[in-house]
A and B are shown apart, each in its own frame.
Chain A
Amino acid sequence: MNGLFSEVFISSLVSGGVIAGIPLIYAGLGEAISERAGVLNVGLEGMMLGGAYGGFVGALHFHSTWFGLLSGGLTGMIISLFMVVLCVRLNSNQIVVGIAITLGAEGVTALLHGAIYADTYPRVPVVHPYAIPFLSNIPIIGPGFFNHHISAYLAVVVVFFVSWVLKSTGIGLSIKAAGDQPHALEAAGGGVHRIRTISVLSTGLLAGLGGSFIVLVGAGLFVPFITNGKGFLAIVLAMLVRGRVRWLIVAGVLFGMSLSLTTALQLAGIDVPIDLVLMLPFVLIIVVLFAFGRRSYLPAALALPYDREQR
């Protein structure tokens, strides 16, 4: 059987969608945390890219995917320190700093990669998927959804964890207060700067994980600009789910599928102009924004620096 309903098309669409969607979920989750705490992190793309490079170097060096992910996450976190110092502590403009971080990370990673790896183009260790028993045996979609590297399933676990933290813990309350009414958080004895620092660092960590997932699990190698706008896509997803982070799982996979549509179409031997298909995720974003954008929830103090005495 050939065409849109063939098994090869559907399973490569699902599997590719998950691979492309997981980085969106990681990074989108990071962005959602920052935004709830009142920090608009436009540097997400840069943190992902930095994480992608850090993960690549780590994995090559230690010959391990897991060490790669770890060093990718740490790289993202280190990059987010710029945001912490400049925006949270020194009250610089969050958008300007975010753009600077993205441009800076693009330049630095391209430069380093060109200087060190441009001749060899080394590949990272091959990842071994873990097939979840029973679920992966579901016909057609089973292998696509449930046969991946463990770090893919981890994304889902982390989403549920963060969702629980936001809903049921003191830190979660403080994060929401820091974004909605930071003065109230201070008045209640919390520390706005402390909470925002924790949030931005978590964003860096998660964006770094997402970036290194692209390299280590997805592509298998690093090329400059490999994140290719996924950081910005993740920012939009974070806004669309309106603080209900569990929806990121659905949104991430959905957008991941639209990103991986070209490959699936090619594998299934369907001939569609490739530019048309590459446009799809962005068309989807625009359609979704038309449909739900008006209801997208943004915290009241988003992108506003906090100064206790400024009333």
Chain B
Amino acid sequence: MVLANELTPSVELIGITKTYPGVVANSDIHLTLRPGEVHSLLGENGAGKSTLIGILSGMVQPDAGEIRIKGETVRINSPRDALERGIGTVYQHSLLVPTLTVLDNLLLGVDQGWKLGRDAAKARLQEVSTLLDVEIDPSSVVGDLALGQRQQVEIVRALWRGEGVLILDEPTSMLTPQGAEKLVQVVRRLVSNGLAVVFITHKLNEALDLGDRVTVLRRGKIVGEVTPAELQNRSRAQITDEVLKMIFGEKSDASYAAFASQVSETADETFRVDHLSVEGSGPHPVLDNVSFTLKRGEILGIAGIDGNGQKELAEVLAGQRHADSGEIILDDQSIQNLSIAARQAKGIRYVTDDRHGEGTVGPLSIALNIVLKRVGEVPFWRWSLVRHSSIREFARKLIHDHDVRAPHEEVAISTLSGGNMQKVILARELALEPRVVVYNKPTYGLDARTTSLVLASIADQAKAGVTTVFISTELSEIVSICHRVAVMYRGKLSEPIMVRSGIELKLGALMTGSTTL
């Protein structure tokens, strides 16, 4: 490491500034990436992390500042320029073509010539995926993959193409603990060969474990740094404390509390799922005889590696997907044949993990996105006329209550940072007075403070009698708010068990299918 510091830096960002209407996303940023070093970049939602790495990867043009690569001043006008200089990027939000196969996505842009080297690419993909210990069928269409699998494809692509610098913007947000662990090992090995890595995450432990150096951004400015020497010589607790203060300012309080409360023994059973099955084209069914029963106010955690049927289960519950057999019962009435809208009217809500695709309408304002599911309802509509003033007022309130970082409620939702977009989606659903909510990875991409705020509101809602299905790959979150937990593996849901401390190991084993209950 000491030796590495004496080499020419791989990348120097000097005085980078970028403003958007109403926000300074980056303000006079100086950042140096060294070969053989993992540089963790931390900061709350909207701090400007993605913008900064967007500038390095050619996606965003800075207003001012200089970029040097290996000591030489360069202009990076497009992602192509960045790739040609050996900078590979995993973007925060999937940038794959959903209609193409995995293999074609990997070949896209590389091979500009007439004939595609598909066979050579297949061999190469095999190599990289063995390295990462992931299983990706090169001929599957990306649009059919779960978000976690897509993220793996992106990581494979970045490793494939980033020869000098690897940028990872929240690469682990969709991975399981095991997947993240594997990625950490691979990154370590690559770094020892001289790669420079930027690693963005909201998981502090990950950042400190993997990072040789840490930089913290807040509201577009660098507010603090932890050097390799400090990282090695001071205690983890001390550093954690300091970094949290840097991220959130002095008033930080981002520790997880245990939110779970007891479900009353006498609460009535409100929501039952009976033998739900969905056939699939693969070797095993998408949903295989899934059953569970929930009491009023109960939170059921569903753990599992992404792509084992969790999303499909959520979609069946919400009415977006047809089940081949089985039944869903709310208050002794089957809702199996009800439409999405009818289920919503009965108080069933679904918070998707696909914030770009299904969750929001990008070009519309935050305010309109917030009332998207309430078109025609009083007080936002009256006599079929839209009432912008009350929509805006309501949006302002939610933006304030949920601490969404946005210039105002009329900006297009697509301009928000990933985490802030997620806050808007959650604010919308939580404001809808639901009876049963299905959350699919609600905290992904949220910073620690917002995560605990969201978990607290889910727990509060449950106390007020809302029945909740909480799908997550984060075992720590499941353990902190759920009453019972079940594991999904290849479309099968295990018998739900009571949550108690120390259960994580057992869940981990169930998730990989290495044991059954």
Q: Which residues of A contact B (CB under 8 A)?
A: 168-171, 173-174, 176-177, 180-181, 183-191, 299-300, 308-311
Asked if residues B99 and A188 are in contact (CB atoms below 8 Å), the reply is no
Asked if residues B116 and A184 are in contact (CB atoms below 8 Å), the reply is no
Asked if residues A309 and B61 are in contact (CB atoms below 8 Å), the reply is yes
Counting CB contacts under 8 A, is B415 at the interface?
yes
In the complex, what distance in Å separates the CA atom of A168 from the CA atom of B100? 12
Mark the stretch among B105-113, B182-190, B328-336 that contacts chain A: B105-113
Q: Which of B102-123 contact A (CB under 8 A)?
A: 104-105, 107-116
Counting CB contacts under 8 A, is B344 at the interface?
no
Closest chain B CB from A20 CB (angstroms): 33
Closest chain A CB from B153 CB (angstroms): 11
Counting CB contacts under 8 A, is B386 at the interface?
no
Q: Which residues of B contact A (CB under 8 A)?
A: 57, 59-61, 78-80, 83-84, 89, 91, 95-100, 104-105, 107-116, 157, 161, 362, 414-415
List residues of chain B with CB within 8 A of the CB of A311. Answer: 362, 414-415
Most buried by B among A170, A171, A174, A299: A170
Out of A169, A184, A191, A309, name the residue touching B113 (CB < 8 Å). Answer: A169
In the complex, what distance in Å separates the CA atom of A181 from the CA atom of B108? 12
Most buried by A among B61, B109, B110, B114: B109
Out of B80, B97, B109, B113, name the residue touching A180 (CB < 8 Å). Answer: B97
Asked if residues B100 and A186 are in contact (CB atoms below 8 Å), the reply is no
List residues of chain A with CB within 8 A of the CB of B111. Answer: 170, 173
Closest chain A CB from B231 CB (angstroms): 32
Asked if residues B80 and A189 are in contact (CB atoms below 8 Å), the reply is yes
5 closest A-B pairs (Cβ-Cβ)?
Answer: A188-B109, A189-B109, A187-B95, A190-B109, A170-B111
Asked if residues A308 and B108 are in contact (CB atoms below 8 Å), the reply is no
Task: Given A180-B100, A187-B59, verify A174-B80 contact (CB < 8 Å).
Answer: no
Q: Nearest chain-A residue to B106 (Cβ)?
A: A188
Task: Given A169-B114, A170-B112, verify A191-B80 contact (CB < 8 Å).
Answer: yes
Out of B114, B362, B415, name the residue touching A170 (CB < 8 Å). Answer: B114
Most buried by A among B83, B100, B112: B112
Asked if residues B80 and A173 are in contact (CB atoms below 8 Å), the reply is no
Could you jot down 5 A-B contacts, CB within 8 Å?
Answer: A176-B99, A187-B57, A187-B109, A189-B80, A190-B112
Asked if residues B59 and A309 are in contact (CB atoms below 8 Å), the reply is yes
Asked if residues B79 and A184 are in contact (CB atoms below 8 Å), the reply is no
Task: Given A168-B116, A169-B113, A169-B116, verify A184-B80 contact (CB < 8 Å).
Answer: no
Asked if residues B109 and A174 are in contact (CB atoms below 8 Å), the reply is yes
Task: Given A170-B114, A177-B100, A311-B415, verify A189-B95 contact (CB < 8 Å).
Answer: no
List residues of chain A with CB within 8 A of the CB of B91. Answer: 187
Closest chain B CB from A163 CB (angstroms): 14
In the complex, what distance in Å separates the CA atom of A299 from the CA atom of B143? 13
In the complex, what distance in Å separates the CA atom of A188 from the CA atom of B109? 5
In the complex, what distance in Å separates the CA atom of A181 from the CA atom of B114? 21
